[in-house]
Amino acid sequence: MTLPVIKGAAYTLAHTPNMLIHNGTTQTTERITTPDSEYLKNLDKHLRSYEEVLTDPNNQTYINNMHYSELKKIEEPRFKTKAEGGRYSKRGEIMPEIEFYGLLSIVDVFDLVYLEEGFAAKVKEIMAENDIFKDDVDKIKNTESAEWLQKHIDEYEAEGLYYEGELVGVVSRAHDIDPNLNAHIMLENLVNKASGVLSLRHLLRDTEDINAEDIEYVIEASEEAIGDMNQRGGGNMAKAIAELCGLTNASGSDLRAFCGAPTHALISAASLVRAGTYKAVAVVAGGSTAKLGMNGKSHYEKDMPLLEDSVAGVAYLISQNDGKSPVIRTDVTGRHTVSSGSSPQAVMTALVGDPLDKAGLTIPDVDIFSVEMQNPDITKSAGAGDVPTANLKMIGAVGVLRKELERADLANFVAEKGIPGWAPTQGHIPSGAPYLGFAYDDMTTDSGINRAMIVGKGSLFLGRMTNLFDGVSVIIERNSGEVETAVDGDLKEVVKAEVAKALRQFAENFSSEEE
């Protein structure tokens, strides 16, 4: 067996302001309940341009162009400060909406996406210059007139795609009566798939020493369910994404756990590698149209731009120990069990205190705690506070109760161990995973950071099946540089044969001595 390591990570955003207007749940609900609201009438005045999204320091940190230590120095609300950095980073990108529509068409394999003829020509021209997708341009094939598109919205319940306020495409329903294959859900699933493909392709391009054919398994960890009326959440989004990324030797499956899924998937992937089941496992999670503009009404009331204007994606690769990459301690994991209790103290004790006890470590022994990394520019204005800081304070309070910290040192603990939130509120995306790319950098340089805890929490009560909370955690450590010798099947047979030979020789020698 060999220790699992984090080999690489990728982070992507697709700026989708028109999807915010037409597909975000807050806005679609408002159209049903209050169609003449001032919010809907003035929505477009609170949308950001692509350039504004590009210079938001939170977004530049999310794609790893800006280090979180630099983000920490910027006064809140941070979106008001323009950051340097472009569309691309060493671990991802911020894609414009027009190209994302092209990507939606590329990932569609059931003729569900149709683009307006003139718009499609423009998209093809732009995508032909895209290094990652230039070989996929011919997949943008379904084009129709604007009149045809409008008819399919009016008569066939298609979901419209809009750009700069104009109808430029539709997503058709995949079945006449199946509610699980209606156009709205098809759009959600295609957006999830497209953003997942974008992230996984960046992972493959931006990670050294990894080829697509080396990845043997994919775990998809978003919040979307795919299936039909006979199996509403049947899956398998993982294999659908793997197919579009050239992972010809991979199988896969979906893992669902609301917000906590990426950390559950991290532990599962690491365990598969640790057991020797697979040598390399990719975890990918696409984004959600439903969460676009989720807190938009709060932002509007405070005369702010609607900051939840981008579909996010994340991917990371877990592989066998290379002697360099950060090690995932599968022997040091936390679990919020059925009996853990739901108070903040009980949750943090289960997720942080218990696994540290198991490892013989204390809370101060951990250099970084990556919890729910929501961008406070979004959450504070919506009344939810600074989520990462609140979690750090609770971890510190648990440390005080455990007598590992002095109460007077609590403020210093939060300042030293905490990292600011920068992730978009796309449900699962903030859950511990935003730090993994930085973890690689921090633990392969002389940063002084040797150990981090990744914490993912989920709200299981959202499914109306239980009132329980959920959560898992895992420790990541700097690599010692020692690489274990993995014993594969052929080598095992050689070892068994040599042992048998030695035993026979011993028996023969023993018999000779007796004679």
Q: Is residue 483 part of a domain?
A: no
pLDDT, residue 499, reads: 53
Residues 51 and 179 grouped into a single domain: yes
Residue 105 lies in a domain: yes
| Rounded-to-integer distance, Cα 24 and Cα 206, Å | 31
Q: What's phi and psi for 508, nearest 5 deg?
A: -65, -45
Q: Print the domain residue range for 500.
A: 489-515
Nearest to 167 by CA among 119, 215, 103: 119
The answer on 359 and 319 residing in a single domain is yes
Same-domain check for residues 221 and 171:
yes
Measure the CA angle with vertex 73, ends 68 and 77; round to 5°. 95
pLDDT recorded at residue 513 = 56
Do the domain assignments include residue 484? no
pLDDT recorded at residue 85: 81
Helices (H), 139-182: 146-156
Within a domain: 45: yes
Task: State the residue for tokens 């510190």.
Answer: 396
How many domains would you assign to the chain?
Answer: 2
CATH code for the domain in which residue 303 is found: 3.40.47
C-beta separation of 41 from 21 below 8 A: no
Give a yes or no: residue 373 inside a domain: yes
The answer to whether residues 447 and 507 belong to one domain is no
- Asked whether residue 459 falls in the same domain as residue 500, the answer is no
499 and 434 both lie in a single domain: no
pLDDT means over runs of 10, the chain (515 residues): 94 98 97 97 97 98 97 97 94 98 98 98 98 97 98 98 97 97 98 98 94 97 96 96 98 96 98 98 97 98 98 98 97 96 92 96 97 97 96 95 95 92 96 96 97 96 93 98 67 51 60 55
The dihedral region occupied by 163, where left means phi > 0, alpha psi between -120 and 50, and beta the remainder, is beta
Residue 306, domain member (yes or no): yes
pLDDT confidence of residue 481: 95
Indicate whether 224 and 362 sit together in one domain. yes
Domain contains 1: no
- Same domain, yes or no: 151 and 51: yes
Task: Looking at the structure, tell me whether residues 464 and 493 fall in a common domain.
Answer: no
Q: 236-241 long-range contacts, Cβ below 8 Å, gap at least 24?
A: 237/189, 237/192, 237/193, 237/196, 237/286, 238/284, 240/193, 241/193, 241/196, 241/197, 241/200, 241/284, 241/286
Instruction: Answer yes or no: is 264 within a domain.
Output: yes
Based on the fold, state whether residues 468 and 432 are members of the same structural domain.
yes
Give the model confidence (pLDDT) of 492-504 as tens digits.
554 455 555 556 6
Domain co-membership, 339 together with 409: yes
- pTM of this prediction? 0.93
Residues 422 and 511 in one domain: no
